[in-house]
Amino acid sequence: MQRFLKSVAGLIAVGLIIYGMVPWSKEEHWLPCLWAATLLGGFAIWPIRTQRATGIYTATQNLALFMIIGFTMLTLQLLRTQVIRADEIYNRVVAEDDGNVTSNIRLVRSTNRIKRGAIFDSQGVTLAENVIVSDNRSYRTYPIANQYDMRAFGHTLGYVSSIYGLYGLESSYNEYLAGGKGNSWQNLQNQLFSRPREGNNVQLTINAQLQDRAFKALDGRVGSVVVIDVKTGAIRAMVSTPSFDPSQLTLRLDAEDYAAESDRVVNYWNSLISDESRPLVFRSTQGQYPPGSTFKTVTAIGVLNNPDVGKPEEITCPNELFPQEGVSVPVVNAVDDEAGYIAQKYGQKFGLDGVYAFSCNTAFAQYGIRLQSEGRNLLEDQARRFHIYPADELPDTGDLTDLPSAPSQLYGGEDGDDWWSQPVAIADTAYGQGRLLVTPLEMAMITQAIGNNGDMMKPYLVERVTTPQGSELYQARPRKIGDPMSVEVSQRIRVSMKAVIEQGWSGATVAGVPGYSVGGKSGTAENPLGAPHAWFISLAPLDDPKYAVAVMVENGGEGTSVGGSLAGIVMTAALEINP
């Protein structure tokens, strides 16, 4: 019986140790588990004596068992803290005010001894670098702060904070910037001789001057601007407003009053998280919005890709359309065409160019139903080719670029929801409403593919990474991620986009650029929570496209006047800075 109890005690002791070691066990459970396992394990291995034993041999044996048990406890504790749970324990700190564990102050101090690599723009302008102060410590500084408003770069660069950690590219490229990746031999020497580690340098694709001008163009509005190089997918500017100043989240280690410096950072952070306009949200990649009439571009491409079904030139533009029997709410146009504007411009047999330039909702509702009816799913397939997915096919990650991106969504609904099977839902989606949600980056990518003869390129922010000595560790390579249309279709849709600007319907000429042929499309996305969101996408020069621009202004109102004017300012700046 005693042997059985010892076996059970031994098994329980092993189980307690395993439970205390696993990652999901709570820290406060470990020591009780260790002590309980020690007592049970001691009982399990203690020898059974049928009679009282005496003498030095027995005393020595007991002492040895006590030492074995003690060293076993110590070994298990070291194994857990130094190997199994080492990273978790290292990355914690105890808050002095309440004793709660949040991170490790040693990690903060060692991080301050790392001279992070610099970040440059596409022209070699230093955007961020570390300066060394006493005791080989260093902190992040921003040399361009005297020339540009740092809020223009907040989301693109991210921040480095001893209190609040890392965000943006500072986080996603931290292994390079902090020197974790790169020259392993140099890192080993630094460790052996206790020298501060030096990070690698990162060069971005953005142009600081264009980034600043895009930020100024938004002029305090809530929204986003994205500029992409049509041929490569390189992001030349990506701005989200409201934003933040990353320099205000950096602790200046040479400050005379460190407590006041810490309070400054904490107060700035609190102002950000309490701001109802959510300045910490990167709207370019994380904001999901209905695209409004800019999505008619996707529907139009679907029609051109499937002309036998879509019949691009056989279309009407009634002022209202009832796409489904039993549904009393019709599809209506934002502006009626009682005066026959389209017929005046394009003749009585107007086709895709006319309804696209006029932004006719009822026409695109008809196109969508043609593409999607009778089980064809051609509108859904076209959206998927642009990386806009149905709700049940959303990718695990939307990392289309160097920064995490929210996926664009064709339609959403609960399991068993047959919303998408209804003609009224298809009609709403085809002209950019319904349950359709996209990011500003997504709309820029669609425009880029049109300008690149149908080839969609992966957008990227980082051009290269080099060591402090100049050796190349990483070089971006333009990568095709889809071909949502043929060369012929891309050239054909550019004709329609050109008509939007040159015909000047509803003031779209504001998106033009003197001396260049520009194509575009506006969008006024209905918003149940307030005024419509204003959109505009543009492409220039149309004869040999170089830049794709996407503009979104939350609650901006009519897309042409607000979005179009912003797109014109940004496209003009891009072509002036690097024609």
Residue type, 140: R
In terms of domains, do 448 and 305 share one?
yes
Determine the Cα–Cα distance for residues 89 and 81; give it in Å rounded to an integer: 7
Determine the Cα–Cα distance for residues 519 and 371; give it in Å rounded to an integer: 25
Phi, psi (degrees; rounded to nearest 5) at 160: -125, 115
Q: What is the mean pLDDT of residues 148-159?
A: 96
- Sign, CA dihedral 62-63-68-74, equals positive
529 is a domain residue: yes
Is residue 174 over pLDDT 50? yes
Secondary-structure percent of the chain, ordered helix, strand, coil, rounded to 5: 45, 15, 40
Per-residue confidence (pLDDT) for residue 496, from 0 to 100: 93
433 is a domain residue: yes
- What is the band of 542 on the pLDDT scale with cuts at 50, 70, 90? very high
Percentage of the chain lying above the pLDDT 70 cut? 82
In terms of domains, do 408 and 440 share one?
yes
- What is the band of 316 on the pLDDT scale with cuts at 50, 70, 90? confident
Per-residue confidence (pLDDT) for residue 101, from 0 to 100: 47
500 is a domain residue: yes
Residues 270-294 have pLDDT tens digits of 999 999 999 999 999 999 999 999 9
Q: What is the extent of the structural domain holding 258?
A: 109-204+245-278
Q: What is the mean pLDDT of residues 58-70?
A: 77
Per-residue confidence (pLDDT) for residue 103, from 0 to 100: 52
Is residue 346 over pLDDT 90? no
225 is a domain residue: no
In terms of domains, do 21 and 166 share one?
no
CATH number at residue 296: 3.40.710.10
Per-residue confidence (pLDDT) for residue 530, from 0 to 100: 82
Determine the Cα–Cα distance for residues 518 and 521; give it in Å rounded to an integer: 10
Upstream peptide bond of 290 is cis (omega within 30 degrees of 0): no
In terms of domains, do 438 and 406 share one?
yes
In terms of domains, do 75 and 149 share one?
no
Question: Range with the lowest mean pLDDT among 6-15, 149-158, 466-475, 477-486?
Answer: 6-15
Per-residue confidence (pLDDT) for residue 388, from 0 to 100: 92
In terms of domains, do 68 and 163 share one?
no
Residues 378-423 have pLDDT tens digits of 999 999 999 998 877 777 655 566 778 888 888 755 554 666 778 8
Per-residue confidence (pLDDT) for residue 98, from 0 to 100: 47
How far, in Å, are 2, 10, 27 from residue 46 at the CA level? Answer: 11, 11, 29
User: Bigger pLDDT: 12 or 572?
Assistant: 572
- Mean pLDDT, the chain, as a whole number? 84
Residues 229-275 have pLDDT tens digits of 999 999 999 999 999 999 999 988 888 888 898 899 999 999 999 99
In terms of domains, do 410 and 304 share one?
yes
Write out the DSSP string of 512-558.
--TTS--EEEEEEE--TTSSPEEEEEEEE-TTS--EEEEEEETT---
Percentage of the chain lying above the pLDDT 90 cut? 48
Determine the Cα–Cα distance for residues 425 and 408; give it in Å rounded to an integer: 17
Our count of domains for the chain comes to 3
Per-residue confidence (pLDDT) for residue 89, from 0 to 100: 62
In terms of domains, do 528 and 560 share one?
yes
- Residue 39, CB half-sphere, CA atoms under 13 Å: how many? 5
CATH number at residue 178: 3.90.1310.10
* CA angle (43, 45, 49) in 5-degree steps: 85
Residues 204-214 have pLDDT tens digits of 999 999 999 99
In terms of domains, do 130 and 265 share one?
yes
Is residue 97 over pLDDT 70? no
Determine the Cα–Cα distance for residues 14 and 34; give it in Å rounded to an integer: 10
In terms of domains, do 384 and 433 share one?
yes
Q: Quick one: CA torsion of 95, 101, 102, 106, rounded to 10 degrees?
A: 80
Determine the Cα–Cα distance for residues 521 and 494; give it in Å rounded to an integer: 10
How many other C-beta atoms lie within 10 A of the C-beta of residue 337? 18
Element (H, E) at 202: strand 201-204
How far, in Å, are 16, 88, 167, 314, 452 from residue 78 at the CA level? Answer: 16, 14, 33, 77, 58
Per-residue confidence (pLDDT) for residue 562, from 0 to 100: 86
In terms of domains, do 377 and 486 share one?
yes
Per-residue confidence (pLDDT) for residue 94, from 0 to 100: 47
Q: Rounded to an integer, what is the distance from CA 9 to the centroid of its chain? A: 52
In terms of domains, do 392 and 499 share one?
yes
